[in-house]
Amino acid sequence: MIHRERLVALGWDPNWSQAFEPYKGEENIPARIAREEKELYLVYSEQGEFSAEVTGKFRHEARLRSDFPVVGDWVAVQPLLGEERAMIHALLPRRTKFSRKVAWVHTEEQVIAANVDTVFLMTGLDQNFNLRRIERYLVLACESGARPIIVLNKADLCPDVCERVAAVRGIAFDVPVHPISAMEGQGLEALAPYLVPFKTIALLGSSGVGKSTLINTLLGEERQDVGAVREGDGRGRHITSRRELIPLPSKTLLIDNPGMREIQMWGDEEGLSGAFEDIAVLASHCRYRDCQHESEQGCAVREALETGALDQGRFKSYLKLQRELRFLALRQGQKHRLAEKAKGKMIARWQKEFKKIKHKGEYA
């Protein structure tokens, strides 16, 4: 019984039991990824914790970076007899995932956290405050499948909290917005309803917003290192260097993440419509279905801009994110076509070699 209680404490439920069915046998047990460092993992299971890595077969069959486990994933592992190590044989299908595009020029998905129920999108009310950055987070959150909650930290350092909260609610719509001070312990009661036992929360935000301070406050102990921020821009250096699954006293599971200085988009325009619902609603009232919101007659978006009902900065942000997502889709299409072309050349080469071998056999 205690083993099953361990799994439940990690977020296990009957649906996960069903997902694990194909991997039963061969001494496999379910485990959850608790920490990840360069494809070496710490996993929690009904038998305790293990240091783990993927099998050679898993590595061979994983075609993409996103096919590898990340913190929050459930996996099928086989403990090694007499050791505190295990081999990861399979990745259970993810329910939700928070992703971004990898840095630099590569068109590839980076999954940041998996099987998240709620995501705290955290920003500071000091120099870090940026509505456009919050909009980017909201687009990614809408793609993830997790419920977004906006947490505005450092309320004790902000002289106009009400004004900034109102500005965020103006772009967040039905997404809850909570101003807090993790350092002073103010406003934390507003987060209590989200700290549900056995549910998983991911904490996301840029460096210096106070994620580690909030975790320490929720834990009731100084577990995470806390660093100072620069006075000029309110940014801090990366104190948290790895992603980690942390059980809280409330029995909630919290995924901590290093601060993200760059938020490259990943997804499609469905997530954009979810984060910019006001613009999507306006666009549905345009005279032309394919309206570009430039100079067309009967454009509801342009009319809202002219009357001030729609903020110019928000619309520019929408257009910028739309361009990024469309360029991403173009790059993904090009990558797929190149992969198919390379696959075709490989098959043609195999067929040619096979014909040579067959021809030699006939005349041997």
Grade residue 325 by pLDDT with cuts at 50, 70 and 90: confident
Contact predicate 151/180, CB 8 Å: yes
Q: In angstroms, rounded to a whole number, what is the distance separating the alpha carbons of residues 55 and 33?
A: 15
Contact predicate 263/255, CB 8 Å: no
pLDDT for 39 beyond 70: yes
| Long-range CB contacts (within 8 A, 24+) of 24-28 | 26/78, 26/89, 27/78, 27/79, 28/76, 28/77, 28/78, 28/89, 28/90
pLDDT for 232 beyond 60: no
Q: Are strands 85-91 and 74-79 parallel, antiparallel or unpaired?
A: antiparallel
Q: Tell me, which fold does domain 271-357 have in CATH?
A: Ribonucleotide Reductase Protein R1; domain 1 (1.10.40)
For 216-220, what is the mean pLDDT? Answer: 90
What HEC string does the chain produce? CHHHHHHHHCCCCHHHHHHHHHHCCCCCEEEEEEEEECCEEEEEECCEEEEEEECHHHHHHCCCHHHCCCCCCEEEEEECCCCCEEEEEEECCCCCEEEEECCCCCCCEEEEEECCCEEEEEEECCCCCCHHHHHHHHHHHHHHCCEEEEEEECHHHCCCHHHHHHHHHHHHCCCCEEECECCCCECHHHHHHHCCCCCEEEEECCCCCCHHHHHHHHHCCCCCCCCCECCCCCCECCCCCCCEEEECCCCCEEEECCCCCCCCCCCCHHHHHHHCHHHHHHHCCCCCCCCCCCCCCCCHHHHHHHHCCCCHHHHHHHHHHHHHHHHHHHHHHHHHHHHHHHHHHHHHHHHHHHHHHHHHHHCC
Express as a percent the part of the chain with pLDDT over 70.
Answer: 78
Question: What is the value of pTM for the model shown?
Answer: 0.78
More confident residue, 149 or 357: 149
Model confidence pLDDT, tens digit, residues 298-323: 899 989 999 999 988 888 888 888 88
Q: Which of 177, 151, 139 has its CA nearest to residue 274? A: 139
Q: In angstroms, rounded to a whole number, what is the distance separating the alpha carbons of residues 108 and 7?
A: 32
Q: In angstroms, rounded to a whole number, what is the distance separating the alpha carbons of residues 255 and 257?
A: 7
Count CA within 13 A, CB hemisphere, residue 31.
31
* Angle of the 161-172 helix axis to the 131-144 helix axis, nearest 10: 40
Residue with tokens 């890595």: 53
For 178-195, what is the mean pLDDT? Answer: 94
The torsion angles phi and psi of 165, rounded to 5 degrees, stand at -60, -40
Q: In angstroms, rounded to a whole number, what is the distance separating the alpha carbons of residues 128 and 229?
A: 10
Q: Tell me, which fold does domain 97-256 have in CATH?
A: Rossmann fold (3.40.50)
**CB contact set of 20 (below 8 Å; sequence gap of 6+):** 30, 74, 76, 92
pLDDT for 250 beyond 90: yes
pLDDT for 119 beyond 90: yes
Contact predicate 111/72, CB 8 Å: no
* Tokens of residue 182, six digits: 């993790």
pLDDT for 249 beyond 90: yes
Task: Report pLDDT for 181.
Answer: 95
Cα angle 38-134-335, degrees, rounded to a multiple of 5: 50
The torsion angles phi and psi of 330, rounded to 5 degrees, stand at -65, -45
Q: What are the boundaries of each domain within the chain? A: 2-91, 97-256, 271-357
Task: Report pLDDT for 288.
Answer: 85
Task: Report pLDDT for 290.
Answer: 83
Residue with tokens 């469905």: 270
Mean pLDDT of the chain: 82
Contact predicate 61/68, CB 8 Å: no
Task: Report pLDDT for 10.
Answer: 95
As a CATH number, domain 2-91 is 2.40.50.140
